[in-house]
Amino acid sequence: MFGVDVEKRARLGTISRKRLDPADRIGRIRDIHIYAKDFVFYDDSSEYAGKQVEVFLFDESYTRRIMTIQLKRQVGDTYSVEMVNVDSKYQGFKLAPKIYKKLVQRGITLVTGGLQSRGGQYIWSQLVDAKGIQMSAFNCGLERSPRVLHDVYRNEHENRVEVEGHDAWSLSDYNRWGFVMTKAA
């Protein structure tokens, strides 16, 4: 797993509630509503499918988009988190861990991508011991190695997930650790 730096400030704007499709609604946390829409992205050399998760704050006079998450489909209902944007006005409220938890409770299995920002590391670390969530690590650095799930723990000092007995954050080219978050059985 490698770290990456991303832009900290974002303005995500408002939207008319009429433009939201009730079929895309997947949950709610008080006045915060979560919608997920399937998409297919076409590039010159590739194509991939995923979900665009958008989080809205419903107020009497407006509907403010406060967070977006781009998920890339991997296998089945497993998605890697590609990008998270939180409106700067709503940063610091620990909103992302709540949204991730809600997605997993709805049956969406999340895996980390190849890069993770400090914010992403923090989000995952907050959910290591969360009720109803099971988190594990896997190493796919060696092609012939079997995919074995390893136990993880939260590193309080670094605010990131660590793997028992391994250095998941090494800068080695052979470091191919990833984390998976599923609904607990």
Res 143 pLDDT > 60: no
Q: If you ran DSSP here, which 8-state letter would residue 96 be given?
A: H
Residue 127 clears pLDDT 80, i.e. is over it: yes
- C-alpha–C-alpha distance, residues 171 and 165, integer Å: 17
- What is d(CA 145, CA 136) in angstroms, rounded to the nearest whole number? 17
Question: 127: which strand partners?
Answer: none
Q: CA-based diameter of the chain, in Å? A: 57
Judge whether 176 and 169 are in contact, CB under 8 Å.
no
Q: Binning pLDDT at 50, 70 and 90, where does residue 155 land?
A: confident
Q: Give pLDDT tens digits for 86-119.
A: 888 888 888 889 999 999 998 899 988 667 777 8
172 confidence band (pLDDT: 50, 70, 90): low
Confidence of residue 170 (pLDDT cuts 50, 70, 90): low
| Plot region of 92 (φ>0 → left; ψ -120 to 50 → alpha; else → beta) | left
**Nearest C-alpha neighbor of 12 from the set 41, 47, 55:** 55
Q: In whole numbers, what is the pLDDT of the chain averaged over residues?
A: 81
Residue 120 in this model has a pLDDT that exceeds 90: no
Q: What is the dihedral of CA 25, 70, 122, 65, to 10 degrees?
A: -50
State the pLDDT at residue 11. Answer: 78
Cα–Cα distance, 72 to 48 (Å, whole number): 7
Place of tokens 């998920």: 71
Q: What percent of the chain has pLDDT over 70?
A: 84
Residue 134's pLDDT band (cuts 50, 70, 90):
very high
User: Residue 166 pLDDT > 60, yes or no?
Assistant: yes
User: Regarding predicted confidence, which is higher, 43 or 161?
Assistant: 161
Q: Which residue has the higher pLDDT, 148 or 95?
A: 95
The whole-number pLDDT of residue 8 equals 63
Predicted confidence at residue 183, as pLDDT, reads 92
Looking at residue 109, its pLDDT comes to: 92
Task: Kindly give the interhelix angle for 118-126 and 95-105, rounded to the nearest 10 degrees.
Answer: 60
Q: Is pLDDT of 129 > 80? A: yes
- State the average pLDDT over residues 75-85: 84
- Bridge partners of 57, per DSSP, are 32, 64
C-alpha to C-alpha distances, 167 to 57, 176, 181, nearest whole angstrom: 39, 10, 19
Residue type for position 154? R
Q: Answer whether 50's CB lies under 8 Å from 70's CB.
A: yes
